[in-house]
Structure 1
């Protein structure tokens, strides 16, 4: 008999588990109780540093031996120098410690047999013996290949979850290792899990989640005005607008091109402007503002019922400031100019944008923090909210879910920055939580994206409870570009936490086509064909149903707006009403057929 560490509960509609400390009898064995042919993906994650770790994912660790360290160091060896030892906490939690380290990669290790092309989902709980440091997981092949699987900021005194994974580029033996630059610190590990999925299984997760979070089964009941059921009534459903925001960026050329307008408006429901709303575009000369182009673009979008993300108020990269702002600009003059910019753009477009990218890329760059102090970002978000309280306020970063080797914007740093912004406002304004958004650009270099790491990063950040968007999806030109673009879009759309996607293609007029959706005549490229294919797949088709003898009929519908009409054999009349289907809408709709069709939810 052993103590299991946790009791788990499940949010069934998205398949997420959360666990709390609770002893119970446990069956030993790494795959105890698991059907190895049908293991679901585990979306659970947390950004919190906990007194004790959760239980290992994937049936007590999946293919990891002695994942929760109940059997001492059995199955674990030392990678590099130093030694490992087994310890037990005051709460009877078992874990393994690497100590006497002299190299960043000295760590506990297990040797695994990887298969090329398999998707390996990984998680572990990490603590360090002193301070805090970034800890990475690396799968080291015998051929010298090192596959980076994820990172976390580990701390002394509490356990942090490292969630990630790899798509293996080779078949053969590999050493599972951990790396941290502080060689004087002990590295503690527990609840280590690794599970392999093939591509078919990985894709099956998409469909399962789409059915749960992007669709809703609606039961219709057709009655007359006396609430008497009408059998044989014909119900027609015509989709008007999809519920999930999918879009692409646009530039000023759309204002003078009907071909551009037709191509764009026939496909998308949301957009962001390439450059036209940015500070360096609206105030090229200090004190002289010109919003004429962004005004026209926003008005165009409003007439076409297309939502706009406000991109952006500030950009933390020193290379993308107005020419008259540079490293010689004093802190006082920068504060005055930035305050003026904030009030100007946010007030002008208040109530007309669905989101603000308040400060772009403020993990990779610190232009404003260096000039105005460490709370510059937090103050920008606070001031934006004071002016315009309805839109989501986004951080917007690259390489957070794309590449774990970029330590500037790892998910743990993203979460820490977001928490600082939120806590800064809560402390000053009576516990009010800012309406934050998690913006992940999803910009990839040529080659196969690490979809496992992408999903794990989204899981981790989604646990904070804020809406998540893919804001600038872009894949640099390379072999199989359209194939990989489809993979990234499917991964984003199917994730339970993602509430919108904006692609960021090369402008149609550009001669350098890095990721074009059309040619210069607005004929689809293979990338554009992928977009059309997915829009069609993720939309309900026009549907006609016949009510049964009790007047009922059912349909599984994508979220969105529909026009509903009802006809009956005993009358020639037909009436239309609008219906919105969403996660929160009723799953029962009564259609009262008479002189006017009425909807009762």
Structure 2
């Protein structure tokens, strides 16, 4: 019996070392949906603080600047720094579909977006988002807005939920998820050359490599700079070339290919066992499309596009773990305007044939940073990803540029939850914080990395 108790104590000690103390606060609910459903589902957290003592969720109506009345929730005594996660199911009447925004208005700040959903008249759509206040608010209004300001639209809202998490609760769950999702217990048995068990042996462990990719952009400025190279290789195990693979660099004039800089950067990452992402094959923004390509149409443009894919991916077959096939296509459509809406399907299919070893990505901005950009809502991104896959494109990864002003962590997590329902790898491909903030403030928001690693890893 004593031996059994000692064994159980040892197991419990190992569990504590690996996973730490358990968390008994409210659990973040990762549920999300990008499907429009016949019937709405129950509210997360049983409604959270929206529910009264009887479990009912009172709703009022708010008159917006347009004179239209919107379903709304009057919120009292919201606290600053608290992370509020909001969700509900929405449906409309008066048009087939539209983009709805959930907005929060306080007595001390202008109205801000806290979540979006592509709402339809035939089914219920799930809206998930959240917010953090800079300062406490005695009375706030959370309401809904049709981005087209169509006065004829009726908005129905059901199963709403608003759940607060303190900074400590949020951080504790992050740390717990890191322990449970990214760490494991390891048992080391030590024996001599004859296989006899050795007790009291001293064992040390040293990490030789990192499994989770953490990287940065590099450019031609690193070439020949040994101090910079050593600094980079010590800190990062992943890299992306800033401009050296882009079409305007590798082929500034038709037929005049120049891969010199890309080859030299590739030699550096190879020598230091750093994985590299290929960025990018095509950039939909005409401003970053080679000037000579901008003048092409029809068959000439199709031939140039095919030549670009064949040349780039044949040369670097197997060298880059990812390729951003179509960059920022939620905001720009240079190729679709000239070759048809489905042109991107062929880009992905051809790229996969040229380099079947690489994971092919879409990549865009303002998906995770904000919900104010109507071009790049989480539902519009998910819809485009589905279209490409259903159209025959071999799309295997979701790229999120992260150009942050002030991060909204509950919104970030909600966006990741919805994208994760597609069961594709999610990468934060770019990250920067506005230099309008001082370095200490920027450092305080290092949680961006933690949030993205946890949620993306949780699903994929």
**Distance in 1 of aligned mates of 2:198 and 2:206:** 21
CA shift, 1:214, in A, is: 1.8
Which protein is richer in helix relative to its size? 2
Alpha-carbon distance, 1:106 to partner: 2.5
Give the TM-score normalised by the residue count of structure 2. Answer: 0.88
What is the distance in 2 between the residues matched to 1:104 and 1:439?
39
The residue correspondences of 1:558-597 to structure 2 (distance < 5 A) are none
Q: Deviations over 1:437-480 (max 9, x none)?
A: 111111113xx211111111111101111011100101120224
Q: Is the aligned partner of 1:128 residue 2:88? A: no
CA distance in 2 between counterparts of 1:346 and 1:498 reads 31
Q: Distance in 2 between matches of 1:396 and 1:256?
A: 30
Counterpart position of 1:140: 105
Q: What do the CA deviations read for 1:526-569 (whole angstroms, capped 9, x no partner)?
A: xxxxxxxxxxxxxxxxxxxxxxxxxxxxxxxxxxxxxxxxxxxx
Per-residue CA distance 1:344-380 (angstroms, 9 max, x = gap): 1111111111100011101011111111100112211
Seen in structure 2, the aligned counterparts of structure 1 residues 421 and 233 have a Cα distance that, compared at 3 Å, is same
Cα displacement (A) at 1:381: 1.0
Retained in 1: the 8 A contact 2:84–2:130?
yes
Contact residue 147 and residue 166 of structure 1 kept, 8 A? no
**How far 1:145 sits from its partner (Å)?**
2.0
Summarize the alignment of residues 353-372 of structure 1 with structure 2, pairs less than 5 Å apart.
Answer: 353-372=320-339
In structure 2, the CA distance between the partners of 1:359 and 1:165, relative to structure 1 (3 Å rule), is: same
Q: Where does residue 5 of structure 2 map in the other structure?
A: none
Q: 2:75 aligns with which of 102, 107, 112?
A: 112
What residue in structure 2 maps to residue 65 of structure 1? 51
Query: Map of 1:322-471 to 2, 5 A cutoff?
Result: 322-326=290-294, 328-425=295-392, 434=394, 436-445=396-405, 448-471=406-429
Matched, 1:302 2:292: no
Mapping of residues 19-98 of structure 1, within 5 Å: 38-58=25-45, 60-65=46-51, 75-80=58-63
Q: Secondary structure at the match of 1:222?
A: coil
Shift of 1:245: 0.3
Q: CA RMSD in A?
A: 2.3
Structure 2 equivalent of residue 151 of structure 1: 116
Structure 1 residue 231 displacement after superposition: 2.5
Q: Deviations over 1:489-517 (max 9, x none)?
A: 22223324379xxxxxxxxxxxxxxxxxx
**What runs of 5+ residues in structure 2 fail to find an aligned partner?**
1-22
Partners of 1:126 and 1:109 in 2: CA distance: 12
Partner Cα distance (2:49, 2:32) in 1: 19
**Mapping for residues 185-264 of structure 1, pairs under 5 Å:** 185-223=153-191, 228-264=196-232
Note the alpha carbon deviations across 1:406-464, whole angstroms, 9 max, x for none: 111111011001001111117xxxxxxx351111111113xx21111111111110111
TM-score normalised by length of structure 1: 0.68
Map 1:450-529; keep pairs closer than 5 Å. Answer: 450-481=408-439, 482-497=442-457
1:291 CA displacement: 0.5
Aligned residue pairs total 431
Partners of 2:174 and 2:240 lie apart in 1 by 26
Query: 1:295 and 1:247 mapped to 2: Cα distance?
Result: 19
Task: State the Cα distance separating 1:485 from its structure 2 match.
Answer: 4.3
What's the CA shift string for 1:100-139, capped at 9, x where partnerless? xx94853211100222222110111111223111011011
Please give the residue correspondences for 1:244-323 in structure 2 after superposition, counting only pairs within 5 Å: 244-323=212-291
Give yes or no for contact 1:207–1:494 (8 Å, CA) kept in 2: no
Q: 3-state DSSP class of the match of 1:218?
A: coil
Deviates more, 1:153-162 or 1:361-370: 153-162
**Structure-1 separation of matches of 2:458 and 2:82:** 24
1:11 aligned partner: none
Alpha-carbon deviation of 1:392?
A: 1.4
CA distance in 2, matches of 1:385, 1:242: 28
